[in-house]
Chains A and B, each alone.
Chain A
């Protein structure tokens, strides 16, 4: 499916804005008067992840080239599984300590897949942007893993910075391309 550039630009803008909204809601907690972050049982994030996974699987089905199908399959699996596990935890249906690692590993997986995509098609459209997004997602995953590993308590997780950068990149890509 080949779309006109303005449609591609619109899709990236809106996708970036949605991702930014999700990232900021997920990683900017509300602080109580005593300075401690308030609990969040929001199910918006996991539902967004699962719907995102379904959307990526849709790209798998409608993809034109076989390697696109295979990479988007993995992407979709990571997003859907991460969303289902986080949803189950937030709804109180399933609780395990290792669930802390789900989102960071999901970021790492998605970031790695972006790099694989660039490796398969290095001359493709927007390859350098995909490389940047892949590296940022890897950075977000590593920072979140580090936060979990060393039990750093901070109101604002470091992983927010690269994730917000991914969202802003999605918004900026077509603007830069059109400039």
Chain B
């Protein structure tokens, strides 16, 4: 890092989002000619976003958890869960909302 010969890898320019893939993904990707394209893209449809799937799963999990907790009010819940304002179901839904927010197209 102190060697001036290594200067090309020391950038004086701060970089915003660039067009090339991030380094972690770039080194993990095979050469372009070998890269498979998602079937949906071949048929012209946008691929299913993993983040959307994860967000939906979290929301469903949070709703099911809250409903299970709510059943205790009717004496039906088999599991005693500590009830508090910052209960886990709300947190899971909050994480899902954050994921969707960070996934929006800019």
Cβ A14 vs Cβ B86 within 8 A? yes
Q: Which residues on A sit within 8 Å (CB–CB) of B30?
A: 151, 153
Interface flag for B2 (CB, 8 Å): no
Among the listed B19, B28, B40, which residue makes an inter-chain contact with A147, where contact means beta carbons less than 8 Å apart? B28
- Closest Cβ–Cβ distance, residue B105 to chain A (whole Å): 8
Q: Would you call the interface of chain B mostly helix, strand, loop, or mixed?
A: loop
Among the listed A16, A28, A34, A152, which residue makes an inter-chain contact with B99, where contact means beta carbons less than 8 Å apart? A28
Among the listed B9, B14, B40, B95, which residue makes an inter-chain contact with A20, where contact means beta carbons less than 8 Å apart? B95
Query: What is the number of residues of chain A that contact chain B, defined by CB distance less than 8 Å?
Result: 50
- CA separation between A99 and B1, bound complex, in Å? 13
Chain B residue with minimal CB distance to A34? B41
Q: Which residues on A sit within 8 Å (CB–CB) of B103?
A: 30
Interface flag for B33 (CB, 8 Å): no
Among the listed B19, B23, B50, B95, which residue makes an inter-chain contact with A95, where contact means beta carbons less than 8 Å apart? B23
Q: Which residues on B sit within 8 Å (CB–CB) of A123?
A: none
Cβ B23 vs Cβ A100 within 8 A? yes
Cβ B91 vs Cβ A171 within 8 A? yes
- Contact bitstring A113-151, B, C-beta under 8 A = 1, else 0: 000000000000000000000000000000000011001
Known: A94-B10, A179-B79. A25 touches B86 (CB 8 A): no
- Return 24 A-B CB contacts under 8 Å, by A number: A6-B82, A13-B91, A20-B92, A21-B98, A24-B99, A31-B47, A33-B47, A34-B37, A34-B38, A37-B25, A39-B18, A91-B14, A92-B13, A92-B15, A94-B9, A94-B11, A95-B11, A95-B23, A99-B23, A103-B24, A151-B28, A153-B28, A171-B88, A175-B81
- Contact bitstring B58-91, A, C-beta under 8 A = 1, else 0: 0000000000000000000001111010111001
Cβ B91 vs Cβ A179 within 8 A? no
Chain B residue with minimal CB distance to A153? B29
Query: What is the number of residues of chain B that contact chain A, defined by CB distance less than 8 Å?
Result: 50
Q: Which residues on A sit within 8 Å (CB–CB) of B98?
A: 21, 25
Among the listed A25, A103, A153, A156, which residue makes an inter-chain contact with B35, where contact means beta carbons less than 8 Å apart? A153
- CA separation between A98 and B89, bound complex, in Å? 39
Cβ B50 vs Cβ A6 within 8 A? no
- Closest Cβ–Cβ distance, residue A10 to chain B (whole Å): 6
Which residues of A29-66 are within 8 A (CB) of B? 29-31, 33-42
- Closest Cβ–Cβ distance, residue A28 to chain B (whole Å): 5
Known: A21-B98, A175-B81. A93 touches B41 (CB 8 A): no
Cβ B51 vs Cβ A30 within 8 A? yes
Q: Which residues on A sit within 8 Å (CB–CB) of B46?
A: 31, 33
Q: Which residues on A sit within 8 Å (CB–CB) of B22?
A: 39-41, 90
